[in-house]
Structure 1
């Protein structure tokens, strides 16, 4: 329905002036020949020229109004033709305001008065039609009054709709501004809580790891303390970036790693004690940055879960380069047991949503006593 209305509006905008010009010209000619008005005694060339000029004036209405007003006055005084006058009165109500509208009414009254004088002079049917008091009043209403009122009503309706549209847009902007303000306040609150809780505890961990690194005698303990301190410092750096984004009202995002940083991620996991290896299958090809970042996120979350729940299990990270996408598999074997770290269980849910946004799918299922995370990320349509 909406598309039909838009198509109709386009047709009217494109062919409306031509249709109006043909209608006005035909009506003026019909009035001059006596079909819908008083037959003119003038030579045929005069009504034809006036009809063509009236049609041209109607076609030029979007850019110039005065030719139509002039054609309406000349057509009424010379031929008693009302078509151009009706259109001129409607356009006056639609477009003129204040003094210009008052000037048009004065001009219309003068033209009607001139038509009365000409009718009295010519006599006959012209006198009866344009000079009789009752007909003059009816002509004033039909030629000027009704079209003018219709134009005023259409203009008032347009102004009302424009005001309502502006009000709706203003309310929408105000609502968006309030929502942005509420989001900014919530982001600031979250950032403050993260800083107060997480940053404090990670900083304490880094300080304690540094003290242990200095006081420990066992080389293995010193190495582990150094790793904890380095990892904690990196966590504080990442947390600072996240907090900076939360405090910003813009759409700045934290820089994310891609497949080029996958070996570094696996190396960090090995340093932390995880037995993990990488295997690539297929012909490696250039992938969109979004696909690379998503694959990195899948591997990182999967390795994090392995460290939490099966830190002693053997783990394999496999990248399969497919003709139409990339398949990421992270599989760990059975664990011999041990205390699992706490987790909220939201990591895989967020990853699944991220992969599905790219048109892919993610599976996370137990396999042979271990666990398999498999993500298939298509390349087609991804920027």
Structure 2
């Protein structure tokens, strides 16, 4: 039932101008023939021409008003037909303001006065209808007054709705701006808390590692302390970049490494004790920067998980260059070492979203007692 009503309303809105034009043309012809007005003694061709002109002017009033005003005046003076005049008065109230509206009222008064003169000359029913004082006042009210007031009311309602829409849009923009400010303040608060807590503890770790590096006499301990100190400083640098994003807003971008830093990443993992080897399959080609950064992130996240869960396992990093993309595979064997570090799995979830944004696929699954991370990243998504 509701769909039928909506369909009927849309059809009415679509054909409203045509329907009104046909109605006005029919009313003008009926008025001239005496069915709903004063019968005109003029030839029928004159009646048909004025009826068609009235219908056309009514249909074209959205783009041109003066034809309707003209045929309304001619129709009243020649045929005493009021249909076009009623529509013209409504349009004047709905669309005219200031001097144009005053000009229309002056013109309407002149046309009514001219109708009185014509009625007196023609005599008979025409004189009684259009030239007597009572009928002239009634015609002025019905032909000009009521339609004009209705048009003014429609215009005022339309202006009020437009003002309400503007106010709603302004309030919505203000609400969004307020939400942006709240988010910015929250980002700043998070950044401050992260700096106070995380950066402080990492700094202590770096200081203690540096002290251990200086005081110990064991070469292995010295090397491990140096690695901890270097890694901690890099962590502080990365943390500052992340905090900069939180402070500056979402538009800021943290500079990320690409495939050109992959050997350095693997070297750091080897220094940390992982047994990592790299394999390149296919002919290396120039890749988009976005693809390179995503591939680097895949390898970094996979090696981080290996350090957490299988630090003693043999690990292979394989890049396979394809005609339409890049396949990144990080696979580690089974681990026989001690307890694993806890993990939330959020890294792989974020990584999957990052790969899928480029139109690729990410697979992360246990295999033969170890673990496999495979990402297929197309060139088209990163271009």
TM-score by length of 2: 0.81
What's the counterpart of residue 377 of structure 1? 377
1:244-285: CA deviation from partner (whole Å, max 9, x where unpaired): 110113421212223333222222212222111122334545
Asked whether 1:162 is paired with 2:142, we answer no
Counterpart CA distance in 2 for 1:319 and 1:133 is 99
Question: Relative to 1, partners in 2 of residues 1:220 and 1:9: Cα closer, same or farther, differing over 3 Å?
Answer: farther
Report the more deviating stretch, 131-140 or 156-165: 131-140
1:91 pairs with 2:91: yes
Offset of residue 167 of structure 1: 2.6
| Counterpart for residue 196 of structure 1 | 196
Instruction: In structure 2, list runs of 5 or more residues that go unmatched.
Output: none
> Is the Cα contact below 8 Å between 2:359 and 2:378 reproduced in 1?
yes
Matches within 5 A, 1:304-319: 304-319=304-319
Instruction: Please give the root-mean-square deviation of Cα atoms over the aligned residues, in Å.
Output: 3.7
Q: Which digits, 9 at most, give the CA deviation of each residue in 1:7-66, with x for residues without a partner? A: 9799779xx5x9977886786677667676545556889778877876786577456545
Give the Cα separation in 1 of the matches to 2:94 and 2:234: 70
CA distance in 2, matches of 1:235, 1:6: 65
Secondary structure of 2:212 counterpart: helix
Give the secondary structure class of the aligned counterpart of 2:343.
coil
Matches within 5 A, 1:266-345: 266-345=266-345
Once residues 255 and 62 of structure 2 are traced to their aligned partners in structure 1, the CA distance between those partners, rounded to angstroms, is 54
In the alignment, what sits opposite 1:116? Answer: 116
CA apart distance, 1:76: 1.9
Greater CA drift, 88-97 or 319-328:
319-328
Which residue number in structure 1 is paired with residue 240 of structure 2?
Answer: 240
Q: 1:300 to 1:6 in 2, by over 3 A?
A: farther
Q: Please, which moves more after superposition, 23-32 or 313-322?
A: 23-32
CA spacing shift, 1:346–1:58, aligned 2, 3 Å: same
Cα distance per residue 1:114-166 (max 9 Å; x no partner): 31232122212322332356654553344224432442343233223322322
Task: Give the secondary-structure state (helix, strand or coil) at the position aligned to 2:262.
Answer: helix
1:246–1:369: structure 2 CA closer, same or farther, 3 Å change rule? same
What does 1:100-249 align with in structure 2 at a 5 Å threshold?
A: 101=101, 104-132=104-132, 135-136=135-136, 139-249=139-249
Aligned-pair distance for 1:371?
1.5
Higher alpha-carbon deviation: 179-188 or 104-113: 104-113
Any idea what SS the aligned residue of 2:211 has?
Answer: helix
Give distance in 1, aligned partners of 2:9 and 2:380.
34
Structure 2 equivalent of residue 75 of structure 1: 75
Q: Summarize the Cα distance change of 1:73–1:171 in structure 2 as closer, same or farther, 3 Å threshold.
A: same
Cα separation, 2, equivalents of 1:4 and 1:361: 45
1:168-222 per-residue CA deviation (whole Å, 9 max, x = no partner) reads 2122212212221221121111101110111112222222333333444444444
Q: Aligned in 2, Cα 1:23/1:139: closer, same or farther, shift over 3 Å?
A: same
Q: TM-score, normalised by structure 1?
A: 0.81
Classify the secondary structure of the residue corresponding to 1:331: strand
Q: Distance in 2 between matches of 1:124 and 1:166?
A: 56
Flag the 1:97–1:378 CA change in 2: closer, same or farther, 3 A. Answer: same
Q: Partner of 1:364 in structure 2?
A: 364
Distance across 2 between alignment mates of 1:5 and 1:248:
53
- Structure 1 regions of 5+ residues with no counterpart? none
The answer on whether the counterparts of 2:360 and 2:381 sit within 8 Å (CA) in structure 1 is no
8 Å contact kept, 2:209–2:228: yes
Whole-angstrom CA distance in 2 between matches of 1:356 and 1:7: 42
- Distance verdict in 2 for CA 1:284–1:143, change over 3 Å: farther
SS in 1 for 2:273: coil
Aligned length: 379
User: Structure 1 residues 282 and 143 mapped into 2: Cα distance closer, same or farther (>3 Å)?
Assistant: farther
